[in-house]
Amino acid sequence: MTNKEKYIEFCKTEPTIPLYSRPWWLDCVCGEKKWDVLLSQQDTNIVATMPYYMPCEGIIIMPPFSQTMGVWFNPVFEISNYARNLHRKQAICECFIKQLPKLSYFEQNFNTEFTDWLPFYWNGFRQTTRYTYILESIENKEILEKNLSIKKRQNIKKALEKSHLTVKTGVLIDDFMKINMQTFERQGLAPYHQNRLKRLIETARQNRCGEIWGAYDTQNHLHAAAFIVWQENCAYYISGGNVSQFLNTGGLTFVVWTAICDIANKSKSFDFEGSMLKGVETFFREFGAIQKPYFKIEKGNLNLINKIKLKMSILNN
């Protein structure tokens, strides 16, 4: 079996593999032939993994709609002695770095549990700290409500009492795609990988681990919507927005809040997927989420030829 085949089988029984690193997700956002994985094994047991997206030869980058990837360590093989465990993980990372294909550029965001990037530093990589916001223990609605900002409380109240909105699941994909497009247009940006997003929604629904929540008024007009995916340990906000004519009805806040409450019986926590944009960061933080740092690790540079090659490869996927 290839590493990829072993990894696919392993993921079927390992619940702690991060959602963004699961085979079904990678097939959707990367394309089945554009991703691979490095494995560290002890006998026949998988000790650590490092999936990666290579859209064209010599370039590894983050796939669309995926906040983090990087190295995952199997919790079964944790050692109680801190120094020995740290050394073990550093040695695994050193091996992974040596196994990477020959590259002109590398860029990956590592998950929030990965805290030691020294092996990458020692091998000429550079690091930027980024942030996400996570709600922990979402099953306790009383605490969630207590931690909401005053502004979020007001938006939810407005949605209920003034805009008379009701949140439903099962929003039509085409309706959601229109909202997604309007959100980018308001920022003067081109829509982001629309075909892949549509494929991701369809697959998540088929796997019963993703849904679109939408806020509707009494005339059944859709005001806002959010696409969210989940697994047992965490749910993730992937994409969302407001209909342009309904920007001030409290719809998006109400949608996200309702989705969090609904998902509390499916997942233990909720990851807002982070943003370095000030306005987006504020929107997430005001739900009472905890700021969590993660590493963006890079090496090399993209010259003009590689940028063109990368753009063409992504467009053709």
CATH number at residue 249: 3.40.630.30
- Domain count along the chain: 2
Could you tell me if 190 and 225 lie in one domain? yes
Q: 94-121: per-residue pLDDT in tens? A: 999 999 999 999 999 999 999 999 999 9
- Provide φ and ψ at 46, rounded to 5°: -85, 120
Which two tokens mark 265? 């019986």
Q: What is the pLDDT of residue 186?
A: 79
Q: Identify whether residues 254 and 179 lie together within a single domain.
A: yes
Instruction: Please indicate, yes or no, whether residues 97 and 163 belong to a single structural domain of this protein.
Output: no
The reported pLDDT for the residue numbered 92 is: 98
Q: Domain for residue 285, yes or no?
A: no
- 134, 136, 167 from 143: Cα distances, Å: 14, 10, 22
DSSP 117: -
Q: Kindly state whether residues 123 and 148 are assigned to the same domain.
A: no
β-sheet bridge partners, residue 239: 227
Q: For residue 280, is it within any domain?
A: no
Cβ neighbours for 43, distance < 8 A, ≥ 6 positions apart: none
Q: Computed from CA positions of residues 299, 305, 311, 315, in that sequence, does the dihedral angle turn out positive or negative?
A: negative
Written as one letter, the residue type at 258 is T
d(C-alpha 188, C-alpha 201), whole Å: 24
What distance lies between CA 81 and its chain's CA centroid?
Answer: 32
Is position 274 within any domain? no
Length of the chain as a residue count: 317
Residue 85 forms part of a structural domain? yes
CA 11/CA 21 separation, integer angstroms: 9
The C-alpha atoms of residue 244 and residue 271 are separated, in whole angstroms, by 26
Name the residue with tokens 């002109």.
104
CATH number of the domain within which 110 lies: 3.40.630
**Are residue 149 and residue 232 in the same domain, yes or no?**
yes
Residue 40 lies in a domain: yes
What is the per-residue pLDDT across 231-284, written as a single tens digit (0 to 9) for each? 999 999 999 999 988 888 999 999 999 999 999 999 999 999 866 667 678 888
- In terms of domains, do 36 and 99 share one? yes
The set of residues, in sequence order, having a beta carbon less than 8 Å from that of 255 and lying 6+ positions away, is: 167, 213, 214, 215, 224, 225, 226, 240
Q: E strands within the chain?
A: 35-42, 45-56, 59-61, 72-73, 105-109, 126-136, 166-169, 210-216, 222-230, 235-242, 269-271, 290-300
Residues 17 and 114 in one domain: yes
Angstrom distance (rounded) from CA 177 to CA 191 = 9
Question: Locate tokens 């829509």: which residue?
Answer: 191
Question: CA 75, CA 122: separation in Å to the nearest integer?
Answer: 25
In this prediction, residue 303 carries a pLDDT of 79
Among candidate residues 179, 71, 67, the one with its CA nearest the CA of residue 133: 67
User: Is the same domain home to 162 and 254?
Assistant: yes
Structural domain of 43: 3-131+294-315
pTM: 0.91
What would you report as the CA-atom Rg of the chain, rounded to the nearest whole angstrom? 20
Is residue 49 domain-resident? yes
DSSP, res 162: I
Is 213 found in the same domain as 163? yes
Q: Which amino acid would we find at residue 205?
A: R
Is 197 found in the same domain as 113? no
Note whether residue 52 is domain-resident. Answer: yes
- DSSP letter string, 3-45: HHHHHHHHHTT-TTS-GGGSHHHHHHHH-TTSEEEEEEEETTE
Q: How far apart are the first and last CA of the chain?
A: 26
Which segments in the chain show pLDDT lower than 50?
A: none
Say which residue the tokens 């982001």 belong to.
192
In this structure, the answer to whether residues 183 and 246 fall within a common structural domain is yes
Rounded to whole angstroms, how far apart are CA atoms 266 and 259? 11
CB contact at 8 A, 152 and 257: yes
In a domain, 278, yes or no: no
Same domain (yes/no): 311, 256:
no
